């Protein structure tokens, strides 16, 4: 008994620490001594030596740097599942628990780790460790003594194993990267009931678990590895960004009772505004889909890999809106509402070069062929939205606000208004401004007086506005002169625009829509433009059906509260987007249901 326990302690040491040459040789000798083929020493001596040399050479070729980032929970869970086939679950669980506690790992971290890899809970492992430490070996070994000696599933159904291998090879050879271990588990399940002529009940579990299928894939030579690179950007905690962020946060939290929000229950539901008039919050953004982009990781079989198209392919730019309202997540009019809108705004039916989803303001452009979403097209799309909003029956008697990012398409100007003063003689960065008027004629506007009592002095924004025949109140504030064209257009239709702080995509809920859609498209794409357009439509419906928007809206308000409590950008990213997020480097973090459940 003591020998068995020491053997598994030795095994754990080999797993946890990078092996030296001496340890590799000792491991090879130990395996050889415990092997049933040990009696054939004369036959196996040469091959064992070659194997040991190969193992040592393979290790020497590996990078000696820290590989912690490569040790994912999935890999550890797969290895644990493999060990369970040779050793009782209780022994492994107690061994891991005692080792983790020995190195000072907290109880909660131990429990979370053991649960993630499929081990016994920390409470159970602690109980058995106390039994082991008390010296009561009979009780400790009272269950599952001797490990597992049952025949494997494929020993009874070798035909299913052959078909499963063929199925895996075919799926890994496809361009699309949507093959998962779940697909293999479902395939094996279907073949089992087909072969046995049994009827599966609705409540029956899979005949072979997903974790076992992952081990099958590894045993057959498949590997799950990087399929493409991820985009990066530098985050910022600049003083101006923090100031804008604080204004943004205070605005929404001070008026939170006016908005439709989502509860914090396990199954989120809508909570209605308690103040009047109620406010509907829209989120807008654009994103580009590229037909050549593929999923970051996928299963490969052996050394074979399907052909991969070079480059990013053709692009399609989508500009969309998400609505924080029970009628959402996407804005659209009914057929009767749209007909009423056409009566007042017949230009809604005109062809403008933007492909709109029927009866909505959601548009797309084939980049490189149908131009690009620039300032003019964005303003055109927003005006279409504002005109359609008027006829949405569910939005009657509501205040409408729209959150947009700080992209140049929303506030692009040849000169920044922040550099100009309001009055005569104040700061002015340029001598003159060249622009094109509504008739297409080139015009020049002098920013300094060319004569008169103010000769040589700057005109200031107020005087320049009057020269451009813009009706401006004489007592207007400087901040009011600096509003963007989008804000002016929105005010015309009674809509408020709120700009999201720079570098804070987590405060714009629609970013989660792009993550969900692109993950769906990249997994199923065959890298053709036609398929990509079809998948974009499907991914939008998939987003709606899974109700991911509820979790995104809930996370928006939680991020606001976290910032209000003094948390930094990096801390908020780790709190609500996963512990692997580093606020200073990563962009468009992958959104999954587990990350959204906050």
Q: Which two tokens stand for residue 380?
A: 């055109």
Which residue matches tokens 């991820």?
A: 230
Residue 364: which H helix or E strand, with range? strand 363-367
Residues paired with 322 in a beta bridge:
283
**pLDDT reported for residue 388:** 94
In the DSSP assignment, the letter for residue 347 is G
Backbone φ and ψ of 252, nearest 5°: -75, -40
In the DSSP assignment, the letter for residue 293 is -
Q: Residue 366 in 3-state DSSP?
A: strand
- How many CA atoms does the CB half-sphere of 46 hold within 13 Å? 2
Please report which residue ranges of 103-233 form alpha helices under DSSP H.
107-116, 122-133, 137-140, 153-156, 158-172, 181-196, 210-219
The two beta strands, 363-367 and 355-356, are antiparallel
Spatial neighbors of 54 by CB under 8 A, at least 6 apart, are none
**pLDDT reported for residue 594:** 44
In the DSSP assignment, the letter for residue 286 is E
User: In 10 A of CB 198, how many CB atoms?
Assistant: 11
Q: Does domain 251-292+308-409+498-567 have CATH number 3.30.420?
A: yes
**pLDDT reported for residue 233:** 44
Q: Which two tokens stand for residue 291?
A: 């037909």
User: In 10 A of CB 164, how many CB atoms?
Assistant: 22
Q: Residue 523 in 3-state DSSP?
A: helix
For 18, 50, 54, 62, 70, the CA distances from 65, given in Å and listed in that order, are 10, 26, 21, 9, 11
Q: Select from 147, 107, 112 the least CA-distant residue to 129.
A: 107
**pLDDT reported for residue 252:** 94
> Which residues of the chain, if any, have pLDDT below 70?
1-70, 135-138, 141-151, 227-237, 296, 303-313, 368-374, 407-418, 435-441, 470-484, 578-598
**pLDDT reported for residue 418:** 62
Q: Which two tokens stand for residue 178?
A: 């949507």
* Cα–Cα distance, 529 to 508 (Å, whole number): 28
User: In 10 A of CB 20, how many CB atoms?
Assistant: 11
- Measured in residues, the chain has a length of 598
Mean pLDDT over each residue of the chain, to the nearest integer: 77
Which residue matches tokens 């100031």?
A: 243
Residues paired with 404 in a beta bridge:
499
- 10 Å CB burial of residue 77 (0-12, 13-18, 19+) is middle
Please report which residue ranges of 398-528 form alpha helices under DSSP H.
408-411, 460-467, 478-481, 485-492, 510-524
Domain boundaries, the chain: 2-140, 153-220, 251-292+308-409+498-567, 414-483
């Amino acid at each position: 008994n003591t020998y068995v326990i020491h053997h598994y302690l030795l095994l754990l040491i080999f797993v946890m620490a990078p092996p030296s040459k001496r340890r590799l040789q000792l491991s090879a000798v130990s395996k050889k001594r415990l092997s049933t083929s040990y009696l054939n020493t004369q036959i196996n001596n040469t091959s064992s030596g070659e194997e040991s040399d190969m193992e040592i050479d393979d290790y020497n070729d590996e990078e000696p740097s820290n590989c912690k980032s490569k040790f994912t929970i999935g890999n550890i869970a797969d290895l644990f599942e493999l060990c369970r086939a040779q050793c009782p679950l209780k022994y492994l669980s107690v061994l891991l628990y005692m080792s983790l506690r020995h190195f000072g790992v907290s109880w909660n971290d131990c429990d979370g780790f053991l649960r993630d890899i499929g081990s016994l809970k920390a409470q159970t492992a602690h109980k058995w460790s106390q039994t082991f430490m008390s010296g009561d070996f009979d009780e400790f070994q009272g269950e599952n003594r001797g490990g597992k000696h049952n025949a494997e599933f494929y020993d009874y159904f070798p035909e299913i194993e052959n078909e499963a291998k063929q199925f895996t090879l075919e799926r890994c050879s496809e361009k699309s990267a949507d093959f998962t271990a779940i697909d293999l588990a479902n395939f094996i399940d279907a073949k089992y009931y087909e072969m046995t002529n049994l009827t599966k009940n609705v409540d029956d579990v899979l005949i072979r678990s997903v974790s076992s299928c992952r081990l099958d894939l590894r045993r057959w030579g498949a590997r799950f590895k990087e399929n493409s690179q991820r985009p990066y950007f530098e985050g910022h905690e600049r003083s101006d960004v923090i100031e804008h962020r604080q204004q943004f946060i205070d605005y929404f939290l001070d008026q939170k009772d006016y908005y439709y929000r989502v509860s914090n229950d396990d199954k989120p539901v809508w909570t209605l505004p308690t103040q009047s008039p109620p406010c509907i919050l829209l989120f807008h953004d654009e994103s580009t889909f590229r037909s050549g982009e593929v999923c970051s990781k996928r299963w490969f079989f052996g050394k074979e890999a399907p052909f991969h198209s070079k480059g990013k392919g053709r692009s399609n730019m989508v500009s969309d809106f998400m609505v924080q309202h029970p009628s959402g997540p996407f804005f659209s009019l009914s057929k009767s509402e749209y007909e009423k809108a056409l009566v007042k705004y017949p230009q809604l039916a005109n062809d403008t070069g933007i492909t709109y989803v029927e009866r909505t303001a959601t548009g797309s452009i084939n980049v490189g062929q149908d131009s690009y979403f620039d300032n003019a097209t964005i303003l055109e799309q927003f005006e279409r939205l504002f005109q359609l909003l008027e006829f949405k029956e569910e939005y009657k008697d509501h205040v409408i606000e729209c959150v947009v990012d700080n992209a140049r398409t929303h506030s692009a100007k040849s000169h920044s208004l922040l550099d100009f003063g309001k009055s005569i003689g104040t700061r002015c960065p340029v001598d003159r401004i060249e622009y094109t008027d509504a008739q297409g004629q080139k015009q020049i506007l002098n920013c300094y007086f060319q004569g008169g009592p103010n000769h040589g002095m700057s005109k200031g924004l107020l005087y320049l506005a009057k020269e451009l025949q813009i009706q401006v109140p004489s007592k207007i504030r400087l901040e009011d002169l600096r509003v963007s064209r989008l804000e002016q257009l929105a005010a015309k239709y009674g809509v408020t625009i709120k700009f999201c702080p720079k570098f804070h995509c987590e405060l714009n809920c629609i970013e989660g829509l792009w993550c969900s859609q692109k993950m769906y498209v990249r997994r199923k794409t065959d890298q053709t433009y036609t398929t990509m357009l079809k998948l974009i439509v499907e991914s939008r419906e998939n987003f709606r059906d899974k109700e991911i928007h509820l979790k995104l809206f809930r996370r928006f308000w939680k991020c606001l509260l976290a910032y209000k409590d003094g948390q930094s950008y990096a801390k908020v990213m780790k709190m609500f987007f996963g512990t692997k997020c580093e606020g200073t480097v990563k962009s468009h973090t992958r959104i999954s249901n587990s990350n959204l459940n906050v």
